Amino acid sequence: MEEKRTSLFENGLIWFGAGVSIAEILTGTYLAPLGFGKGLAAILFGHVIGCLMMFFAGVIGARNRKSAMETVKLSFGQRGGLLFAILNVLQLVGWTGIMIYDGALAADSSFGAGAWVWCIVIGALIILWIAVGVTNLGRINTIAMAALFILTIVLCWVIFFSGEGAGTVSGETMSFGAAVELSVAMPLSWLPVISDYTREAEKPVKATAVSVIVYGLVSCWMYIIGMGAAVYTGESDIAVIMVKAGLGIAGLIIIIFSTVTTTFLDAYSAGVSSESVFPKLKGRHVGIVVTVIGTAAAILFPMDDITDFLYLIGSVFAPMIAVQITDTFILKKDSGWSSFNWKNLIIWLIGFILYRWLMTVDIPVGNTLPDMLAVILICVIADKIIPAEK
């Protein structure tokens, strides 16, 4: 029996759902102190950088029909790649908790029932999505995405055309480079995830392109909604805007389903990544456990400021994908046969340290691009002067 594969349309729907997110809207509000013009430029420039990296990561997995963490082993070795699989599971558990927390707070602002109640509701829906599975979501995802598409257009109208003029933007002044980096961070956080879905596609490379383009456009849209809300209404709480606009149930649907369709990918991919560490585990079962843990964390712990978390993700995964891009597309080398590729692991560590140092420097293009270019250059030079492992 031929294995069921996802179509280009289905991949587009999956990544539309990933982009429609309260967390992305919230991150967009952080850019408001720049003003709309500069903020928009930072959003677009940052997403171009991040989505290009996301595309390369997706293509590597799509061509090899491997999950994201299995492709990492091609550059860092079978055991070396386990480091990134473990780090990826941890960041995805973190994302699951953050997304449920943000969604529950927003839902509670619209329909007060207690944030913990909404945490449980959102967690239960995510488990349902995982139980149905990526290749079987079809009609459910189509209906959910159509509803979200219509409702986000309504939300845009409320923010940009029904307001009373520009509000007062409060908050710390942000540099253009820091804004670019926050815009890079979201697509960068999907680097160790995208191959988990492109490997299932009928047309892997085309599906990767569709996935990245759809995600990039929708993510920019969410950032702009958040920034526009802060700039034009003076309000950074998107749930409050929905309530003031009288969206009622429609606003609640946006909050709940945008959270579910994004967080599902985090929890599911945490399960897939865990299979790289413990092959006997079932990814779907682990994904459900991750959802339960994330739900509990969202109930018990405050998760209001995610900027440090975003920067940590960038510092780990930007140099990782730079090494992978160099090995796959420039040097055309495969270390999947080895236990550890120490050369690449050391280069990754240099890239990690460099990224953390670059955070102390105000660079107009952000930290990610110069860090990745430096790592790529180091990889090429190291390949010339250090003999290949045998």
| Token pair listed for 32 | 């408001």
Cβ(166)–Cβ(232) under 8 Å? yes
Q: For residues 334 and 64, what is the distance between their CA atoms, to the nearest angstrom?
A: 12
Confirm if 294 and 263 have CB atoms less than 8 A apart: yes
Q: At 66, phi and psi to the nearest 5?
A: -120, 150
Could you tell me if 344 and 327 are in contact, meaning their C-beta atoms sit under 8 angstroms apart? yes
d(CA 28, CA 237): 11
Task: Name the packing angle between helices 176-189 and 22-29 (round to 10°).
Answer: 170
pLDDT reported for residue 279 = 83
> Residue 101: inside a domain, yes or no?
yes
pLDDT at 109: 78
Predicted local confidence at residue 111, as pLDDT:
77
Cα 157 to the center of its chain, rounded Å: 26
CA 33, CA 41: separation in Å to the nearest integer?
A: 13
- Domain total in the chain: 1
List the alpha helices (DSSP H) in 199-248: 204-232, 238-244
3-state SS of 65-126? CCCHHHHHHHHHCCCHHHHHHHHHHHHHHHHHHHHHHHHHHHHHHHCCCCHHHHHHHHHHHH
pLDDT in the model for residue 230? 82
Q: Has residue 158 been placed in a domain?
A: yes
pLDDT at residue 137, as a whole number: 59
**Contacts of 113 by beta carbon, 8 Å cutoff, 6+ apart:** none
Would 13 be classed as within a structural domain? yes
Bridge partners for 6 per DSSP: 201
Max distance between CA atoms of the chain, in angstroms, equals: 68
Residues in Cβ contact with 373 at an 8 Å cutoff, skipping those fewer than 6 apart:
322
Inside any domain, residue 381 = no
Q: How far is residue 199's CA from residue 300's CA, in Å, rounded to a whole number?
A: 36
In a domain, 386, yes or no: no
What's the rounded Cα separation, in Å, for the pair 115 and 102? 10
Residues of the chain with pLDDT under 70: 1-4, 133-142, 162-172, 235-239, 241-248, 388-390
- CATH code of the domain covering residue 229: 1.10.4160.10
Whether 373 is covered by a domain: the verdict is no
Look up residue 389 and give its DSSP letter: P
Of the candidates 287, 255, 259, the residue with the CA atom closest to the CA atom of residue 272? 287
**Strand (E) or helix (H) holding 151:** helix 138-161
Residue 372 lies in a domain: no
pLDDT at 46: 95
Q: Is residue 102 part of a domain?
A: yes
Find all residues with CB under 8 Å of 203, minimum gap 6, and list them.
Answer: 8
Residue 258 — φ and ψ, nearest 5°? -65, -35
Residue 212 is part of which domain span? 8-304
pLDDT at position 236: 66
Backbone dihedral region for residue 165 (phi beyond 0: left; psi -120 to 50: alpha; all else: beta):
left
